[in-house]
Amino acid sequence: MVTNLQQYHKVITYCGQLIPWARITQIRNLALIVVGLLHSTDCHLSSLSEVIPLPITDLSVEQRLRRWLKNAAVDVRRWYEPLVRTALLQYRQEISYVVMDSTQYGRRHRAIVVGIAYAGQVIPLGWRVLSGRKGHTPPEIQNELLAEIRTFLPPGQVVLVADSEFCSIDLLQQIDEWKWQFIVRVRSNIGMEISENEWLKLSQCGLRIGETKVWHDIYWTQKHRFGPLMTIATWRRGENEPLYVITNTRNPDAALLVYKWRFWIEPLFGDFKGRGFRLAQTRLTDVDRLNRLLLAACIAFIWSLATGSSVFLSPRQRLVDRNDRNDRSIFQLGYRFIKRAFRLSLPLDVSFRIDPRWFPRDDLTSLTVR
């Protein structure tokens, strides 16, 4: 119990240094939720209270957590930004690969999440929780979120990778104005101008299994004529349907390679749900409270990722992974290492600094801006 309390106090000290303007009581309650998410079997407040190492009743702990989630003084963006800046402090790459996607969150909500590609996963940079389980999210919310995280991205070129939910012209034009590159999936029923006054729908391009087609200097949609862009249509063997992407880059092979990194956000969603914090089970319905719970989860995630990045390829990895191969993601290594320390009452560092060795290397791709 003593060492577990030390973990809790280390989180308080570390967060207090990064968000010194916050009241100490607010930081303490944040630390309670972070520690609780790392060690509980689910994200319900009653479950979190059972694993938090405080000598008070579980009901009292639960009430403290609930008050923090309700507290309008907890500004999610302001609290999270210094933690992200700390995580990316050693980022030395010339290109930041940013991934954007959405997922169900709770029973009746969705979350748009944007993050930076890292070691087969994504470091969350920002998010928005919206009411509704299905349907595309509004482009203005997408623009707002990207504008928010843009302020603390590392200097250098940015490449956005996203699904067809994020292919609105308003969003792509804004990205283009920022001089970002983008590789975005699109639906096949939209027309593009492939030469002067010659329009083609991707669904009509006659693509066959195992084939890839590329169109340079096209203009996207008859209504907007946004471009010039490059369109790629590819149908890999074993896939049920073709993949269509548009991009303002010039190298189709590199663009398809980087587009695969969009799926790196799926492990993040899995770690937030069934493989980790089980946020899909939350019974919270208020959007602001859900945003604050996600703040605590992202802090717990970065702590786990930082721990895992230091454990990976070290002798300590074998304490939480197989001896004959590397089975677990960097998050899972850190997540399990922290839980092991908690279970055995072992000392553990609290740090949000990510090991820079596992970012995608710039020399893997050659994406030339148009």
User: In terms of DSSP bridges, do strands 226-234 and 212-220 run parallel, antiparallel, or are they unpaired?
Assistant: antiparallel
Distance in angstroms (rounded) separating the CA atoms of residues 101 and 112: 6
Q: At what angle do helices 287-311 and 265-272 cross, to 10 degrees?
A: 110
CA distance 27 to 183: 39
Beta strands in 134-291 (DSSP E): 157-162, 181-185, 191-195, 198-201, 212-220, 226-234, 243-247
What is the structure's pLDDT at 135?
65
Q: Are 362 and 91 in contact (CB under 8 A)?
A: no
The overall longest dimension of the chain from CA atoms, in Å, is 75
Ordered DSSP codes for 47-112: HHHHHS--SS-HHHHHHHHHHHHH-TT--HHHHHHHHHHHHTTT---SEEEEEEEEEEETTTEEEE
Angstrom distance (rounded) from CA 148 to CA 153? 10
116, 290, 17, 63: CA torsion to nearest 10:
-160
Give the mean pLDDT per block of 10 residues along the chain (370 residues). 66 88 91 89 87 84 92 93 91 90 86 93 93 79 94 90 92 94 92 85 88 92 89 91 93 93 92 86 90 94 92 87 84 91 82 87 60
pLDDT at 364: 59
42: buried, middle or exposed (CB in 10 Å: 19+, 13-18, 0-12)? middle
**CA-based nearest residue to 181, from 266, 85, 96:** 96
For residue 80 the two structure tokens come to 């999270």
- Rounded distance, CA 284 to CA 363, Å? 44
Place of tokens 């996963």: 121
Instruction: Tally Cβ neighbours within 10 Å of residue 186.
Output: 21
Burial state string for 241-275 with b = 16 or more CB within 10 A and e = fewer than 16? ebbbbbbbbbebebbbbbbebbebbebbbbbbbee
Q: Which pLDDT value is given to residue 209? A: 92
Helix (H/G/I), strand (E/B), else coil: 176: helix
299 DSSP assignment: H
Q: Give residue 118's pLDDT.
A: 92
